Amino acid sequence: MNTFPCYAFEYTSGSRMCVHTNVTSLVINGGFLGLKDNPAVDYYERSKASYANLFQSRDHAALKQQNTYFAIKLNKTLEECAYACMGSTVQTCLSFSHSPNTGACGLSNVFYGDGHEEISLLQSQIYNHYQYYTSWPCNVTIPENYGPRVLASLHFPYQSIRHAHCHMIIEAPSGKQVQILFPTVFFGQDVCNGQNRAGLTVHDGISGTGSVLGHYCHSTSDRSHPPLLTSTSGSLYVTYTADDVSMAFESIYQFVTVDPCESSQCKNSATCIAKNTSYVCECPAGFAGQFCEVNVDECASSPCLFHGQCVDQVNGYSCNCTHEFTGDRCEKFIGACADNPCDHGACVITSRYNYTCTCIDGYVGKHCNMKLTPCMSNPCQQGTCGETTDDYICKCIVGYTGRNCDRLAVDLCTFSPCKHGRCTSTTNLDVLCTCDSGFTGKYCETSIDLCAEVNCHNGSCVRNNTGYTCQCNAEFKGKFCDVAMTACELHVNDCNPGRCYSYVNVPEGYVCLCPDNKYRQQCNMTYDPCSQSPCHHGTCSQSQAGYTCACANGYIGSLCNIPTCTVADCGLGLCEDKYTGYNCICPVGYGGKNCENSITIAPTVVNQSTTASCMTSSCHNNATCIQENLGFKCVCSEGWTGSACDEIIDACASDPCINSTCVIEGSKHKGGTCMDSYTGIVCICPSGFHGARCDVTYDACATQSCPTGLCQLHETGLRKALRMKAHVLT
Task: Classify residue 551: in a domain, yes or no.
Answer: yes
**Co-location of 148 and 251 in the same domain:** yes
Higher model confidence: residue 470 or residue 10?
A: 470
pLDDT digit string, tens, across residues 666-694: 443 333 333 333 445 666 666 556 666 66
**Co-location of 186 and 251 in the same domain:** yes
pLDDT digit string, tens, across residues 543-564: 765 678 999 888 888 888 888 8
**Co-location of 225 and 207 in the same domain:** yes
**Would you state the pLDDT for residue 684?**
65
**Would you state the pLDDT for residue 662?**
67
Summarize the confidence of residues 300-320 as an average pLDDT: 91
Higher model confidence: residue 77 or residue 338?
A: 77
Q: With beta carbons less than 8 A apart as the criterion, state whether 688 and 707 touch.
A: no
**Would you state the pLDDT for residue 8?**
74
Summarize the confidence of residues 706-717 as an average pLDDT: 52
DSSP line for 225-294: ----EE-SSSEEEEEEEESSS-EEEEEEEEEE---GGGG----TTPEEEEETTEEEEEPPTTEESTTS-E
**Would you state the pLDDT for residue 516?**
78
In whole angstroms, give the CA distance from residue 389 to residue 374.
9
Over 60: is that where the pLDDT of 710 sits? no
Tell me the one-letter amino acid at 619: C
Summarize the confidence of residues 271-298 as an average pLDDT: 89
**Average pLDDT across the chain, whole number:** 79
Question: What percent of the chain has pLDDT above 70?
Answer: 78
Task: Classify residue 425: in a domain, yes or no.
Answer: yes
Higher model confidence: residue 633 or residue 273?
A: 273
SS3 654: helix
27 pLDDT tier (thresholds 50, 70, 90):
very low
**Would you state the pLDDT for residue 673?**
34
* Domain ranges, residue 575: 538-598
Over 60: is that where the pLDDT of 333 sits? yes
**Co-location of 564 and 549 in the same domain:** yes
Over 70: is that where the pLDDT of 339 sits? yes
The one-character DSSP state at 190 is -
Which of 321, 317, 313, 325 is CA-nearest to residue 349? 325
Task: Classify residue 137: in a domain, yes or no.
Answer: yes
**Co-location of 494 and 441 in the same domain:** no
- The pTM score is 0.37
Task: Classify residue 28: in a domain, yes or no.
Answer: no
Over 60: is that where the pLDDT of 372 sits? yes
Question: CB neighbours of 602 closer than 8 A, spacing ≥ 6?
Answer: none
Task: Classify residue 383: in a domain, yes or no.
Answer: yes
The domain boundary, picked from 209, 240, 257, lies at: 257
In whole angstroms, give the CA distance from residue 230 to residue 236.
8
**Would you state the pLDDT for residue 33?**
42
Q: With beta carbons less than 8 A apart as the criterion, state whether 527 and 674 touch.
A: no
Q: How far apart are the first and last CA of the chain?
A: 123
- Dihedral angle at the C-alpha atoms of 161, 167, 171, 172, nearest 10 degrees? 50
Which of 159, 239, 138 is CA-nearest to residue 198? 239
**Co-location of 417 and 509 in the same domain:** no
Summarize the confidence of residues 462-473 as an average pLDDT: 80
SS3 499: strand
Which of 229, 242, 167 is CA-nearest to residue 197? 242
The total number of structural domains that make up the chain: 5
**Would you state the pLDDT for residue 724?**
34
Over 70: is that where the pLDDT of 385 sits? yes
**Co-location of 547 and 594 in the same domain:** yes
Task: Classify residue 4: in a domain, yes or no.
Answer: no
Task: Classify residue 651: in a domain, yes or no.
Answer: no
Hey, what long-range contacts does 669-676 have (CB within 8 A, 24 or more apart)? 674/648, 674/650, 675/648
Summarize the confidence of residues 379-384 as an average pLDDT: 89
pLDDT digit string, tens, across residues 182-221: 888 888 888 888 666 788 999 999 999 999 999 988 886 5
The domain boundary, picked from 237, 257, 277, lies at: 257
Average the pLDDT over each of 223-232, 300-309, 483-492 and give the range with the smallest value.
223-232
Higher model confidence: residue 39 or residue 26?
A: 39
387 pLDDT tier (thresholds 50, 70, 90):
confident
Q: What is the CATH number of the domain that holds 546?
A: 2.10.25.10
**Co-location of 496 and 404 in the same domain:** no
Summarize the confidence of residues 576-589 as an average pLDDT: 81
Average the pLDDT over each of 207-211, 459-463, 537-541 and give the range with the smallest value.
459-463
Q: With beta carbons less than 8 A apart as the criterion, state whether 343 and 358 touch.
A: no
Over 50: is that where the pLDDT of 728 sits? no
**Co-location of 251 and 164 in the same domain:** yes
Question: What percent of the chain has pLDDT above 90?
Answer: 20
**Would you state the pLDDT for residue 676?**
37
Task: Classify residue 23: in a domain, yes or no.
Answer: no
Summarize the confidence of residues 468-481 as an average pLDDT: 88
**Would you state the pLDDT for residue 427?**
67
**Co-location of 393 and 419 in the same domain:** no
Burial tier of 354 (Cβ tally within 10 Å: 0-12, 13-18, 19+): exposed
**Would you state the pLDDT for residue 224?**
53
**Co-location of 495 and 563 in the same domain:** no
Backbone φ and ψ for 40, nearest 5 degrees, come out as -85, -15
Over 90: is that where the pLDDT of 107 sits? yes
Q: What is the CATH number of the domain that holds 169?
A: 2.60.120.290
Summarize the confidence of residues 44-73 as an average pLDDT: 86
**Would you state the pLDDT for residue 31?**
35
**Co-location of 228 and 168 in the same domain:** yes
Over 60: is that where the pLDDT of 425 sits? yes
78 pLDDT tier (thresholds 50, 70, 90):
very high
**Would you state the pLDDT for residue 674?**
34
Which of 155, 87, 99 is CA-nearest to residue 129? 99
Most confident listed range (146-155, 302-311, 553-562, 584-593):
302-311
For residue 518, what are the β-bridge partners? none
Over 70: is that where the pLDDT of 655 sits? no
In whole angstroms, give the CA distance from residue 52 to residue 69.
19
